[in-house]
C-alpha cells in the first residue's frame, strides 16, 4: 500500500506514478467521502437537501469554491507564512464565495432565495478548509485540483442523493423547480412519482435528513465490510488449497 496515495492527508511523492491522480480523485468520491466517512459539512447537507434542485445548486457552488480555493492555495503555498496561513485561507475562500454568491444572486435568483444563508456559509464549510490545510498546502496544483474535485464530487453526490430521496418520499416529486437552475432542459426533468396522499411528510423535515443520511452511511459501511470479508475469505480458501 502506498501511504502517500491512500491516506486522507499528507504530501504525495514527487515520483508518484501518473495513475495516482486517479486514486487521489476516487479517494474523495468513495473511500474517504467527506459526507459519509469524514462526516464534514453536515449542516448544509441536512438543511438544504429538502429538494434535489436545492441540493444540486449548493453542490455545484461548493464544488466550484473547493476546486478554485485548492488551486490558489497550492500555487501560493510557498510564499504563505505558516503562522498566518489560516486567516489567509479564509480570505481566499471568502473572496471566492462572494464571487459565486453574487453570480447566483444575479443569474439564478430563485435558487439564491432557496439556498439563503447557506450559500454564504460555504466559507465555513469544513471540507474546503480541511482540503486546503491537509492537502493543497503540501502538494502541487494538479494533485490539489484532483483532490478537491474528488472530494467535491463525493460531497455533491451525497447532497444530491439525500435531496432526491427526501423530495421523492416527502413531496412525491423529483427535480421540481429544475427549470430555474437548468433552463428549458430542466423542465423535462421535473416529474411527479408519488401521489401526495402517499408521501411521508417527515422526509422533508430535519429528522428526515438524519434518517436518510444514516441509511447512506450504513450502506457505505456495509459495502466496505462486504468487500473486505470477501477478500479475507478468498485468502482463507487459497491457504487451504495450498
Instruction: List pLDDT tens digits, range 194-219.
Output: 998 899 989 998 889 999 999 999 99
Q: Kindly state whether residue 8 falls inside one of the protein's structural domains.
A: no
Q: Which helix (H) or strand (E) holds 174?
A: strand 173-174
Q: Flag whether pLDDT at 41 surpasses 50.
A: yes
SS3 191: strand
Q: What is the mean pLDDT of residues 26-50?
A: 88
Looking at the structure of the chain, the number of domains it has is: 1
Instruction: Pick the closest to residue 215 from 43, 223, 20 (CA basis).
Output: 223
- Per DSSP, the three-state class of 65 is helix
Q: 143: Cβ–Cβ under 8 A, 6 or more apart, which residues?
A: 12, 20, 21, 24, 74, 135
Confidence (pTM): 0.86
Task: Please give the average per-residue pLDDT across 50-75, as a whole number.
Answer: 94
Q: Which of 60-74, 174-188, 226-240 has the highest mean pLDDT?
A: 60-74
For residue 33, pLDDT over 70 is answered with: yes
Which residues form the domain of 227? Answer: 22-241
Q: What is the pLDDT of residue 240?
A: 55
| Residue 10: predicted pLDDT | 63
Cα 14 to Cα 20, 67, 70, 231: the distances in Å are 11, 21, 18, 31
Indicate whether 10 belongs to any domain.
Answer: no
Assess if residue 5 is contained within a domain: no
- Give the span between the Cα atoms of 163 and 53, in whole angstroms: 8
For residue 232, pLDDT beyond 90: no
Q: How far apart are CA 134 and CA 38, in angstroms?
A: 13
**What is the overall mean pLDDT for the chain?**
86
Task: Write the CB contacts of 117 (distance below 8 Å, at least 6 apart in sequence).
Answer: none
Residue 111 has pLDDT above 70, yes or no: yes
Specify the pLDDT at position 4.
Answer: 45
Q: pLDDT tens digits for 148-175?
A: 999 999 999 999 999 999 999 999 999 9
Lowest mean pLDDT among 90-94, 171-175, 178-182: 178-182
Q: CA 68, 69, 71, 75 torsion: positive or negative?
A: positive
pLDDT the model gives residue 182: 81
> Does a structural domain hold residue 220?
yes
**157 inside domain:** yes
Would 121 be classed as within a structural domain? Answer: yes
In the predicted structure, residue 108 carries a pLDDT above the cut 90 = no
What pLDDT is attached to residue 45? 84
pLDDT recorded at residue 218: 94
Whether residue 57 is contained in a domain is answered as yes
Nearest of 49, 45, 35 to residue 168 by alpha carbon: 49
Residue from 212, 88, 223 nearest 160 by CA: 212
- Chain Cα centroid distance, residue 176: 22
12 in any annotated domain: no
Amino acid at each position: 500500500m502506498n501511504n502517500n496515495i491512500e491516506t486522507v492527508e499528507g504530501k504525495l511523492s514527487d515520483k508518484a506514478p501518473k495513475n495516482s491522480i486517479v486514486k487521489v480523485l476516487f479517494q474523495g468520491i468513495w473511500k474517504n467521502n467527506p459526507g459519509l466517512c469524514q462526516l464534514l459539512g453536515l449542516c448544509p447537507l441536512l438543511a438544504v437537501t429538502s429538494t434535489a434542485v436545492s441540493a444540486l445548486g449548493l453542490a455545484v457552488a461548493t464544488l466550484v469554491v473547493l476546486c478554485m480555493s485548492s488551486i490558489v492555495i497550492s500555487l501560493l503555498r510557498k510564499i504563505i507564512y505558516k503562522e498566518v496561513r489560516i486567516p489567509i485561507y479564509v480570505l481566499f475562500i471568502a473572496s471566492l464565495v462572494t464571487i459565486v454568491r453574487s453570480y447566483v444572486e444575479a443569474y439564478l435568483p430563485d435558487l439564491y432565495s432557496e439556498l439563503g444563508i447557506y450559500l454564504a456559509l460555504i466559507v465555513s464549510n469544513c471540507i474546503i478548509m480541511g482540503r486546503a490545510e491537509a492537502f493543497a498546502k503540501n502538494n502541487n496544483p494538479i494533485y490539489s485540483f484532483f483532490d478537491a474535485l474528488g472530494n467535491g464530487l463525493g460531497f455533491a453526490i451525497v447532497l444530491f442523493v439525500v435531496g432526491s430521496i427526501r423530495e421523492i418520499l416527502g413531496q412525491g416529486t423529483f427535480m421540481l423547480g429544475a427549470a430555474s437552475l437548468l433552463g428549458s432542459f430542466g423542465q423535462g426533468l421535473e416529474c411527479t412519482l408519488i401521489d401526495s396522499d402517499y408521501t411521508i411528510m417527515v422526509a422533508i423535515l430535519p429528522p428526515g435528513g438524519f434518517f436518510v443520511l444514516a441509511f447512506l452511511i450504513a450502506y457505505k459501511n456495509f459495502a466496505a465490510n462486504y468487500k473486505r470479508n470477501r477478500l479475507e475469505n478468498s485468502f482463507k480458501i487459497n491457504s487451504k488449497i495450498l
